[in-house]
Structure 1
Amino acid sequence: MQTTSIIFAVLVLKLYQIDGNVLPTETTIAGSQSKQLSGRKGLTFIKWDHLVPYGIDLVGCRDWYNPNGFNCDPYRGDTDCNEQRTVLCAKIDNSPRPPYLVLGNGAAMPAAFYVGWTLGHISTTLPVAGSSFRNRAAVDAYCAQYFGNTGWRVATFHNGKVIRNINGTTYAGESWTTNASRMEIGGWSYYAFGNVRNDVRSWVHITDQPANCWSN
């Protein structure tokens, strides 16, 4: 009789854990990995500037104000997927580009390529292991759930959009919107509305390289 009571108590506890959402960590994130990915690395970005007049952040591969800055690796990933990092989430709502300046001479591409406009807002979650997510859809769902809006999704390496010769008021505001057909894809860094933390790197997604902690 005592043994039966113990078994019954255990079953009740299990049911309470399920109904009360007291579940193991790996089941709290939609589409989570069933086990950690040993040795795999994912892509991360960091905030390296904020323009107060426009309320926009510049996020990207590296903080160029830091002479010892950490470079991202969009080809193989740069951060162990089992480490805890924030997720950089984006809400694309076709906001017109503010009249920020494009400085410098660029590199392999014109300078504007590296400071494109993301057409919306960014924000970050609390730190989470990249290995928690099974695929991109799971990361998108996590961003949407975290911010309570299905318009949020994981930010990507190529979120920045550019129009050739953008600078200051050239292709800003209404002229940006009316020339949407001329937009091209940028990369490596971009501006967006927001003011995210700059003390930690954040998981981002890249579509055309094997540098994610999750599948495409």
Structure 2
Amino acid sequence: MNKFLLLLLICTVGSTISKKGMTFMKYTHDARFGIDNLSCYAPSDFKGVPVCDAYNGDTDCENLLPVLCVKVDDSPRPAYPVTGEGAAMPVWNYFGWGRGHVASTKPVKASQFQTREAVDAFCADAFGSGWKVQSWQDMSKWISGMGGVDGMKYSGSEWSANADKMQSGGWGFYAYGNLRNDTRLWMDGPHDQVSTCWAH
């Protein structure tokens, strides 16, 4: 086989490998506070991708999915409960407060975006100034011991007064909103991984 045919074969095979992007999903809604729990994990009755892949991406970038957009306005954490054992990180890491609102766009191919800035602009065009794509890098904040069974610890004014105790969370978060729960949503994955459809 000559070099030209070998190069053509390599390019043809390479072009069939699909790039994948990371997605999140609405897991639950708490009507008491008007907040959604967004998560890597899908509810048990969801028929699609059950869990995100923050390292390699979990959904073909050519698929049509809404973009998960956020507007961080530093709203104090409402008194949602946080209970459980945690895993690699303390339980609060997985149920942090997103400090604002979430919304989802019309379904689009993630492959249409070349950069993170382009996705941010898409969110801003859809919902207004200050809206941007949800990023793994700045997902949520948590304070050790927050929530508890009644949810009150480190909520409201107590949350705002303890900014020095806040740590960055991952794998799931709460924010104001009531998104659709029948689809996964494009988001911006960890910047040191290959799980995002566009360039950072």
Report the TM range for the smaller structure's normalisation. 0.7 to 0.9
Q: Could you tell me how far 1:156 is from its partner in structure 2? A: 1.7
2:194 paired with 1:210: yes
- Secondary structure (helix, strand or coil) at the match of 1:164 reads coil
- Secondary structure (helix, strand or coil) at the match of 2:94 reads helix
* Residues 131/61 of structure 1: CA separation in 2 closer, same or farther (3 Å cut): same
Q: Which residue of 1 aligns with 2:36?
A: 57
1:133-212 residue pairs with structure 2 within 5 A?
Answer: 133-147=113-127, 149-157=128-136, 158-167=138-147, 168-206=151-189, 207-212=191-196
Q: Residue type matched to 1:143 in 2?
A: C
- Provide Cα deviations, 1:91-142, integer angstroms capped at 9, x if missing partner: 0000000000002111111111100000000000000000010010000000
Q: Which residue of 1 aligns with 2:58?
A: 78
1:16-95 residue pairs with structure 2 within 5 A?
Answer: 39-66=18-45, 70-95=50-75
Q: TM (normalized to structure 1)?
A: 0.79
On the 8 A contact 2:92/2:142 being kept in 1, the answer is yes
- Secondary structure (helix, strand or coil) at the match of 1:175 reads helix
> Taking every aligned residue pair, what percent have the same amino acid on both sides?
45
Tell me how far apart the structure 1 counterparts of residues 17 and 110 of structure 2 sit (CA, whole Å).
Answer: 12
On the 8 A contact 1:37/1:82 being kept in 2, the answer is no
On the 8 A contact 2:26/2:38 being kept in 1, the answer is yes
Larger radius of gyration: 1
| Structure 1, 121-130 or 103-112: larger mean CA deviation | 103-112
* Residues 42/172 of structure 1: CA separation in 2 closer, same or farther (3 Å cut): same
Q: Could you tell me how far 1:67 is from its partner in structure 2? A: 8.4
Q: TM (normalized to structure 2)?
A: 0.86
Tell me how far apart the structure 2 counterparts of residues 67 and 79 of structure 1 sit (CA, whole Å).
Answer: 15
Q: Which residue of 2 aligns with 1:131?
A: 111
Q: Could you tell me how far 1:150 is from its partner in structure 2? A: 1.8
Gaps of 5+ in 2: 1-14
| Structure 1, 153-162 or 83-92: larger mean CA deviation | 153-162
* Residues 51/129 of structure 1: CA separation in 2 closer, same or farther (3 Å cut): same
Tell me how far apart the structure 2 counterparts of residues 170 and 112 of structure 1 sit (CA, whole Å).
Answer: 12
On the 8 A contact 1:90/1:153 being kept in 2, the answer is yes
On the 8 A contact 2:46/2:182 being kept in 1, the answer is no
Q: Could you tell me how far 1:64 is from its partner in structure 2? A: 4.4
* Residues 114/37 of structure 1: CA separation in 2 closer, same or farther (3 Å cut): farther
Q: Could you tell me how far 1:164 is from its partner in structure 2? A: 0.9
Gaps of 5+ in 1: 1-35
